[in-house]
Amino acid sequence: MQNFSDDAHVQTGDDLALQTYFKAGISPDDVSAVFPLKRAQPVLQAFTALFHGGFNAVLLRLLVLRELAADVESPSLTRADINAKLAYLEPEALETVLSRLRGNGLLAWDSGAGVYRITPTARNVMAALESLIQVEEHNDQAEMSYMLTQVAGAQAVGGVSVEQLHHLLGRLIELTEEFSDAIASGSEFQLRAAQKKWHTACDWVEKGSKIIHAITHDERADAATHKAAQAIGRAQSALLNMQGMFSRALNQIERQRVHLGQSGLSTTDIKTWLLQKDDLAALADQALAHPVTPLFITPSEMIDVAESELLSHRVSALAGALPTGENAVSIANDNDDALHELDHWLDLLSNIEPGEKGVPLQDLLLPASFAVASYRASMLPLLGDPNESALQGATGTLARLPLIFQSKDKMQKLNDAQLAAISIASLVAAPRADDTPTAASPIQETP
């Protein structure tokens, strides 16, 4: 025979006077936070009556109270109605639950009419529980919907409290710190999970902005309420501004992502695939022909092997002969016409004396064919180039010439067989060799 007795009426060692929990010389009435809790004793006792004990007992009480509160057609229920509605429960268990609910003010028994009625306290408690259950069903990852719903409802009836606003503010600050930690972790998986949660939080922030705006402009609200609402507004702004931080962190990870050859697969794809496997060890089944045999050696043996390897490398390095020399591959012909042309042009540029007004560009490029003039013009950007100046050879000599290339955004026509027009430009000698010239496309071929 099963025992359905309720332990709510049994005095336990934990049921002590409130004063015993406080230090000597301190009265609970002197602590300001105790008063609102003592004032809410009826509703707190209602929660205690429902949630005291094991989970199965709590579930049974909520089941009975929820079933009875769902019948809104009649404000009262007879015992026969209750037995019919909860016919799937053992009679003794049902009687135990009804006795507990009745003894703690969640059910009212009208002895004259012989009926049960749901008390207002019970309906308030069930309404709060239904809101929490609905939040869980909708999978609110940001866990803000319930608190925002409470604030919105309280504001609608003109009774929002500072404590409700502080709970919402605390949740916003927790989310901001959580997202900041995810960004600082550098983990792509944590970032993407946090970004998904961030989008959910932003949806609730947008819905709550009007509520917070109404609270801040409510003349009936006191200073503490205004201050809390303004703090919530700042926390919402900080939360919304994290979009750029998420984007920068994900872009940085994208630039550092490693791809496996030309397959298109990346390390992120491999990790995602591995996370989907329940048993990673099973991937190695039949992958190894022989089991791995561990080798155990002592530190003395490790030193002997390391010394032997070191000495063998030194001996081989000393005994080895130098490799035979080979002729360098010829990459350029000393008789190349381009090199002769560059040497000739260097002599021409070297004759520009400091103090001159400037030599027109056409006098330096012409007379010559279009190919030679184009070659000379292509060498002009090397003048003053610091990287090229550090090199040897003709181009390095050209880069070190103390010349300044001056040009205008205009073209002048030429009377030449191959060049129709050329930029208005000149080369001027300067005492400094590190001035960087302005390169342009100075010539235009005759059509």
Q: What is the DSSP secondary-structure string of 182-232?
A: HHHH--HHHHHHHHHHHHHHHHHHHHHHHHHHHHHT-TTS-HHHHHHHHHH
Q: Which CATH architecture has domain 7-127?
A: Orthogonal Bundle (1.10)
Contact indicator for 432, 413 with CB cutoff of 8 Å: no
- Nearest Cα residue to 88 out of 109, 116, 114, 60: 60
Report residue 423: phi and psi, to 5°: -65, 150
Q: 355, 376, 373, 380: which is closest to 414 by C-alpha?
A: 373
Mean pLDDT of 295-304: 80
Place of tokens 């769902």: 70
Model confidence pLDDT, tens digit, residues 168-209: 888 888 888 988 898 888 888 888 888 888 888 888 888 788
Question: Predicted confidence band at 114 (pLDDT cuts at 50, 70, 90)?
Answer: confident
- 393 backbone φψ class: left, alpha, beta (φ>0; ψ -120 to 50): left
Sign of CA dihedral 81, 82, 83, 88: positive
CB 439 within 8 A of CB 381: yes
Concatenated DSSP letters of 354-395: TT---EEHHHHH-SS-HHHHHHHHHHGGGTT-HHHHTS-SHH
pLDDT above 70 for 128: yes
The answer to whether residue 10 scores a pLDDT higher than 50 is: no
156: phi then psi, degrees, rounded to nearest 5: -65, -35
Where residue 97 falls among pLDDT bands split at 50, 70, 90?
A: very high
How confident is residue 8, by pLDDT bands cut at 50, 70 and 90? very low
Cβ neighbours, 10 Å, residue 207: 14
Per the model's pLDDT, the better-predicted residue between 218 and 229 turns out to be 229
Provide φ and ψ at 251, rounded to 5°.
-65, -40
CA distance 70 to 66: 6
The number of C-alpha atoms within 13 Å of 105 and in the hemisphere containing its C-beta is 12
Q: How many other β-carbons are positioned within 10 Å of the β-carbon of residue 155?
A: 20
pLDDT digits (tens, 9 = 90+) for 302-343: 888 888 888 877 776 666 666 677 777 655 554 456 667 777
What pTM was computed for the model?
Answer: 0.48
Residue spans per domain, the chain: 7-127, 140-249, 338-445
User: Over the stretch 266-280, which tens digit does the pLDDT of each residue have?
Assistant: 777 777 888 888 888
pLDDT-derived band at 393 (thresholds 50, 70, 90) equals confident
The model's confidence at residue 15, banded by pLDDT at 50, 70 and 90, is low
Contact 175, 238 (CB under 8 A): no
Mean pLDDT of the chain: 79
pLDDT(90) > 70 = yes
Q: What is the pLDDT of residue 289?
A: 67
Distance from CA of residue 70 to its chain's centroid?
44
Q: What span, in angstroms and rounded, lies between the C-alpha atoms of 217 and 306? A: 78
Could you count the other beta carbons within 10 Å of the beta carbon of residue 221? 20
